[in-house]
Structures are given as C-alpha cells and as structure tokens.
Structure 1
Amino acid sequence: MIKARILVAEDDPNFGLVMKSYLSLQQYDVTLCEDGNKALSVLQHQDFDLCILDVMMPFCDGFTVAQRIQKSGRKMPVVFLTAKALKEDQIKGYRLGAIDYLIKPFDPDILLLKVQAILRLPGGEEDPTIQYRIGPFVFNPHLRQLRNDETQWKLSPKENSLLELLCQKKGTVLLREEALLKIWGEESFFTGQSMNVYITKLRNYFRTASEHPVSIENLHSKGFMLTPAAEAEEG
C-alpha cells in the first residue's frame, strides 16, 4: 500500500510534532517543516498529496508558500492553519487554491476527517468507499446519492458538493463565503441566492424523516451547520 505524502509546515514545535505523530499513526507519510523557507526548500525536490500550512510563520508565511505552489503549476491541495478567523484571510487563502481552513485549536479527529475527505485516489477520483451517515440517512458523494430506508435521491452536482462540505465540517460551521468560493468560484448576491435555493432543497430531503430530524441550521447569516454531525465511514 502506497502511503499518501503530507507536508506539514508549522512553527510551533510542540503542535507540529503532535500533528505529525497523529497523522503518522494513521499510516500517512508526514514531513514536518518549522518555517515557510524550509517548506519551500523541501517542495523544490518533492511533491506531496496534501500540504498543511500554518498561516503565520517566520521568514515566509503560509500564504507565500501556497502562492509559490500555485505559480509552479503543481496540483497539490492546501489546508491552512490559523489562530485568526478573519474573513479577509480566508478569502485570500481560497483564492490561493486552499481546500480548507482549520482554526486553532482544533480536535485532531476533525483534522483526520478533513485529510481523509481531501485526499483522492489516482486520477483525481473521489474515494468511492467513503460515505457519511447522517441520522437515518446515508450519503455517498461518489455516487451523488442520498438515501434512507424508504427513499433514494440522485443529487445534482451542486447539491452534492454542498452536502459534502457540510459533512466534512462534522459539527462545525460551514461559512457562507467558503461554500461560495469553493463551489461557485465567487461571492456575490446572486451566487448567495443560488446557494440558498440548494440549501432549501437539501432541507426538503431531510424533512422526509420526521421521526429522526436532520437539520441544516442557519447560524446568524454566517454559515450553516449540519445536525446531527455526519459520521464518515467506508462503504
């Protein structure tokens, strides 16, 4: 079995070692760099399946590292780590090709679920074995299929992408800006209205199971949260 290769760039030595140890225990091949310059040096000679970059690092920050990756033309997904949940920083990160953001401190189980969701099989295909259990529903993003004991729905591409993002958040908030930038590629009034339509469609699917309610909560116009949290499992 070929191990997925992950680059972790984190200037806090204790936090970096914890992440490296945790991901290594999950059978990932992890390279740890303590600043952005060392990360760039490693990237000159190696490719990775995923780069996890702290935003604030000495000598060279995570945004600069991601920008160099983007300019090189290499397709390496990036997750940013940050202690600040500033909207401007998140928008900048997504424009630099970020797949996701993790706000410190975070649960290592959340990190693992995000890594599992981001990593792809050769050829860019989603892992067909990963599906999510949401209350009485099972969601398979590879098949774009949502089902319960009585009904099965084929989701549209945007419904599928939106529900997959909600599942990956696992009990945390999916920010509106994040969903719009990842799925629609821009944040505007019209794309926001379009997303609201797809959120309503997903809510209608979940309303078919009234005895075991699943909800998509709107949190003060900041974003959405799937309740109960989706549990990833192999199909």
Structure 2
Amino acid sequence: MQRFMITDSSDVVRKVGKRILSELDFMVSEASSASEALSHCQVELPDYLIVDSSMDGALDLIVAVRAMEGGKEVKIYYCVIEADLKKLMMGKRAGATDFLLKPFDRKILTAVFGNRAIAA
C-alpha cells in the first residue's frame, strides 16, 4: 500500500482528502503544518505528498523533502487556490512534481490518483 501525506492547515481539507484517498487504497497521514510534515517525513517518506501553498514554510518543506535520502522519488503536489503563474513557478523551482487546484473533491482526486494506488 502506498503512503500519502496531506499537509494543510485546514482540518476539513485534510479530513476530506484522507477519506477519499483512503478509499482509493492509500495509507494516508496528515500534517497541519510544514514543520509537522517535515518531522513525519524524517521518520518515513510518503510516496505522495500534498503541500498547501498558503501554509507557512510550504516551499521550504518541498526543498527539505527533496534533499532527504529518497526524497527525489516522492511525488509532491503543490496545492494552489488559483492558477497563479508566479506561485506555480515558485513551487516548481522548489521541486514540486505537479499541482492541484484547491478545493479538490472526490472527482479530482480520483482522476489524478485513482489508478496510481493500484499500480504500485
């Protein structure tokens, strides 16, 4: 089972994402801050990581994960509220694999990640 971490300051976003991704057969953990996510990643890197762009330290978290042993293999999704080119480029430079628009729902998460849980 692949490991997935949702890093977002919103309890609702984390709970909704966890429920949907768990149903897609991911083992999902949550972090409410970049520092909490970094602590989790130092113990065990997830296969997938969603990072909320509006969270303090979001870009630093991406850079730190990429610098860890095995961190280059983590698929990091930078979660943005709007397709702001400057914000997207900052995420890409930090090491984000791809982007997700927020708020996401079952349809979006299933389309992006539905076939990946099984593929592992």
What TM bracket, shorter-length normalisation? 0.7 to 0.9
Cα separation, 1, equivalents of 2:97 and 2:116: 8
Name the CA shift for 1:50/1:32 in 2 (closer, same or farther; >3 Å).
same
Q: Kindly report which structure 2 residues correspond to 1:104-119, keeping only aligned pairs within 5 A, or say none.
A: 104-116=102-114
Instruction: Name the aligned partner's letter for residue 85 of structure 2.
Output: K
- Provide the C-alpha distance between the structure 1 equivalents of 2:78 and 2:104, rounded to a whole number of angstroms: 12
Deviation of 1:117 (Å): 5.7
1:131-157 deviation line (CA, Å, top 9, x unaligned): xxxxxxxxxxxxxxxxxxxxxxxxxxx
Task: Tell me the distance in 1 between the aligned counterparts of 2:16 and 2:54.
Answer: 18
Q: Which structure is higher in helix share?
A: 2
Higher relative contact order (CA 8 A, sep 6+): 2
- Count of residues paired in the alignment: 118
1:95 aligns with 2:93: yes
Find the residue that maps to 1:98 and give its secondary structure: coil
SS of match in other structure, 2:97: strand
Cα pair 1:54 1:61 within 8 Å, conserved: no
Q: What are the ranges of 5 or more consecutive residues in structure 2 without an aligned counterpart?
A: none
What is the alpha-carbon distance in structure 2 between the residues aligned to residue 118 and residue 96 of structure 1? 24
Show CA shifts across 1:32-66 (max 9, x none).
11111100010110021111111112xx4321110
Amino acid at match of 1:63: L
Q: Are residues 5 and 40 of structure 1, via their aligned partners in 2, closer, same or farther at CA, if it must alter by over 3 Å?
A: same
Match of 1:68 among 44, 64, 67: 64
> How do residues 45-194 of structure 1 correspond to structure 2 at under 5 angstroms?
45-57=43-55, 60-73=56-69, 74=71, 75-116=73-114
Deviation, 1:11, is 0.5
Q: Which has the larger radius of gyration?
A: 1
TM-score (norm 1): 0.46
Q: Which amino acid aligns with 1:66?
A: I
**What 5-or-longer segments of structure 1 have no aligned partner?**
123-235
Q: TM-score, normalised by structure 2?
A: 0.86
Provide the identity percentage: 23
> Partner letter of residue 39 of structure 2?
S
- Separation in structure 2 between the aligned mates of residue 119 and residue 96 of structure 1, nearest angstrom: 25
